[in-house]
Amino acid sequence: MKKIGVFYGSSTGTVEDLAQRIAAKLGVDSSDVFNVGDIDADVVDPYEVLVLGSSTWGAGDLQDDWEDFLKKLKKADLAGKSIALFGAGDSASFSDTYCDAIGTIYEDLQSTGATFVGTVSTDGYTFDDSTALKDGKFVGLPLDELNEDGETDGRIDAWVEQLKSEAL
């Protein structure tokens, strides 16, 4: 199995909890789960698969810790690595910017040489728009712990199985 690192930014603890849950389902040790607010970008170097998570704030903004970390990560050599994205958003109150943060991370890391895995169908999601859409699919796993928390475990399980077939 490839070496997997889970990297998240979390202001309220929601994405931290999701990161821990995803890591557990992937069999990733807690020592390989990182808060991006506490590390430098070179921590990603030994990992072949990067699982990156962020919440979306306001009108589509990245979680604060991602602002600086993403700038550093864009400069890193990610060639040959696989990147899987997950995010938390509010599909009811912010349905026109639902999980935009993972769209921002995706766009910013396009030129790094990494391969993106884990796209998700929009089937079963209720939202109006998102920058996380590419070719009619989400670029990663969107989760809504406020309005659709009953869907979270099933969505994580399906996504983890997909990642195992695509990148692990």
- Which residues fall within 8 angstroms of residue 3, CB to CB, at 6 or more apart? 32, 46, 47, 48, 49
- Please name the residue that has the structure tokens 């989400």: 138
**Comparing C-alpha atoms, which of 89, 96, 76 is closest to residue 36?**
76
Domains of the chain plus CATH, in order, are 4-166 (3.40.50.360)
- What is the mean pLDDT for each group of 10 consecutive residues in the chain (168 residues)? 94 97 97 97 96 94 95 94 97 96 97 96 96 97 97 98 91
In this prediction, residue 86 carries a pLDDT of 98
- Which residues fall within 8 angstroms of residue 142, CB to CB, at 6 or more apart? 86, 87, 88, 89, 91, 98, 99, 102, 120, 125, 130, 132
In this prediction, residue 1 carries a pLDDT of 74
